[in-house]
Chain A
Amino acid sequence: MYIDPTSGSLVLQAIAAGVLSAVAMMSRVREAIKSFYHSLVSRVRRPTGNR
């Protein structure tokens, strides 16, 4: 057989893709925290503005 059946480099590529995905998800989490913070701040400021 000339096709190499070993999948060592698949494992490495899967790890790399997993790390990238985790980073992307972390930035999503960061965005979620940011938007939560902004909504919190705007909610605190809104009552003052209404006066």
Chain B
Amino acid sequence: MTTLYPFLLAAARVLYQGWHSPGYFTLTDLLVVLGFTLGLVMVVYLGAAALLRSADHRAPAFCAFLFVCWLFVFPMAAGALPSGPYQLFKLGLGVVMAALSVGLFRWLVRRPERLTTVATFFTLTGSLLVARFAVGITLDRLHARHALETSALARALAQPIPGPARAPAPARDIYLIVLDEYANADVLRDALGFDNRPFLDSLRALGFTVPAVGSNYAHTMLSLPTMLNAAHMAPLAAELGPASKDPSIPNALLESNRVARFLKARGYRYVFMPSFWWLSTAESRTADSVVHVLPGFNLDRELGRTELRRTLVQSSLLDYLHRDAAWDARFIRRTLEEAARLPAVREPVFAFIHVLSPHSPFVFDPQCGLPPRRSQGRNKLQQYVGQLPCLNRMVLATVSRLIRDSEVPPIILLQGDHGSATRGFTQAHAVADLTPLAAWERLGAFGAYYLPGGGAQAFGDSVTVVNVMGNVLRYYFGAALPREPDERYLSVEDAPFAFRRAPAEWLARNRFDSTTRFLASEDSARR
């Protein structure tokens, strides 16, 4: 029994991440990560047993324990150190930990009784931690399931959108391309100092309309279900409470979204092109086709396939060996290339394509090359802006092919789910900490729409994310779907459901204010 402790401690580290992030992983993925981690520990244990050639299992188990410490504790300790020249502090820590490892091993191997006491202690500790986190995860999942079953919003959105039973002829393909965190031209100009007019002019030359666009929510996990249900997610604040971070209900609403159901009922094929690692858009059980742009198995790619895996890799020694950037770049490029081939599908298509760009990690330089590794994490604004020329070129190539290769002019919706976050949005722990500039930047989403047959009139001069799909369904399909209010709700990453309304006029008026906190400024505006 007392040889189990390295396995228990490794399992505790993985389960902790799951318990700490309810709703941000699937159980299958958690089990895969658990199996991979325990497999690594087993390899070290068997290797040590073979090297030591001892019938006593205590020494190899201690070697495996030291490996677990190196795997998870060293990066944590190294991360807490100040950054010195040539990584000297990390190097020093490595030397100290190596000396401690060798010294402890030699001392304990000669004292089997002490080794047994250490093993018993860590077996007990590991068992307690595993039990604590496993019970926590189970309770969280039961709670999330109950919340979904009793959600009034989920019940309301389960009802079909009323409208004519058939799509008008000729049926147009609909391509919804979400460019994650793509800010609108005003934000890019005033907050980031980037002139995006050449891109917008190219889109207009192709026939796109570019109204004033805004996001209703500051987070992808709220913006996407809002867009694909043509309905606000604000009622979730009352259902889940402001302390909740669990995205299970919005994710379920996104997966079974009523816009796709409406179109499927009218003969459309729902084609889903997932993101590389974002859980909410990793899979879809309701889509007729899910396009996997990088098929097959590759271990290096699989390490970055989910947010849980990325977080654990980045918190472990594997971070020194593995990089996701090349896979991210390849996935985005392939997604846009594959999207351009969708007109070849014979049936009318509703394609939902989630592109995790210009969202971080920043994986393109202006020439579409990979930025240098050392630049990651530095000067977020420059890296964000540096991606745009490349992304713009790829998007233009895709939409040009979609228009060229479609027999019937299609509907193309290029949509940012929210704006950028270079002015302190992600650092805020409460809405009260946000400056008007950070709030305005975050809610300033990009949007450009190709709307043949006079569809631009349904959008008018301005639109928010919640009404984009509604406008399409109302204008082209005659859906009896009331227009939603263009209200904007701010919340921060620490409390995504703790909403605070942010009037568009107030945001626009105070957009250059980078010092006043949100609450103080809003209160003075009310007075």
Contacts and interface: CB of A to CB of B under 8 A. Distances in A.
A10 B310 CA distance: 18
Nearest to B245: A2
Contact of A14 (B20, B24, B125, B493): B125
B24 A3 contact: yes
B24 A17 contact: no
B124 A4 contact: no
Contacts of A14: 12, 125, 129
A4 B129 contact: no
Given A2-B221, A2-B493, A9 B121 contact: no
Range, interface on chain B: 20 to 34
B121 A1 contact: no
Contacts of B367: none
**Interface size class, chain A:** 10 to 19
Contacts of A3: 17, 20-21, 24-25, 307-308, 310-311
Interface string A10-35: 10011001101110110000000000
A13 B16 CA distance: 10
Given A1-B310, A3-B308, A18 B20 contact: no
B132 interface: yes
Contacts of A48: none
B20 to A, nearest CB: 6
A5 B307 CA distance: 10
A21 B121 contact: yes
Given A2-B493, A9-B20, A25 B117 contact: yes
B72 to A, nearest CB: 8
A31 B128 CA distance: 21
Interface of A is mostly: helix
Interface string B101-144: 00000000000000001001110111011001000000000000
Interface string B282-324: 0000000000000000000000000110110011000000000
A15 to B, nearest CB: 10
Contacts of B128: 17, 20-21
Contact of A2 (B16, B24, B117, B314): B24
B76 interface: yes
Contacts of A17: 124-126, 128-129, 132
B16 A7 contact: yes
B21 A22 contact: no
B264 interface: no
B76 A7 contact: yes
Given A3-B307, A4-B21, A5-B311, A10 B13 contact: yes
B16 A10 contact: yes
Given A3-B20, A3-B25, 8 more contacts: A2-B247, A3-B24, A3-B307, A13-B129, A14-B129, A20-B124, A21-B124, A25-B124
7 nearest interchain CB pairs? A21-B124, A17-B128, A3-B21, A3-B311, A21-B125, A17-B125, A10-B16
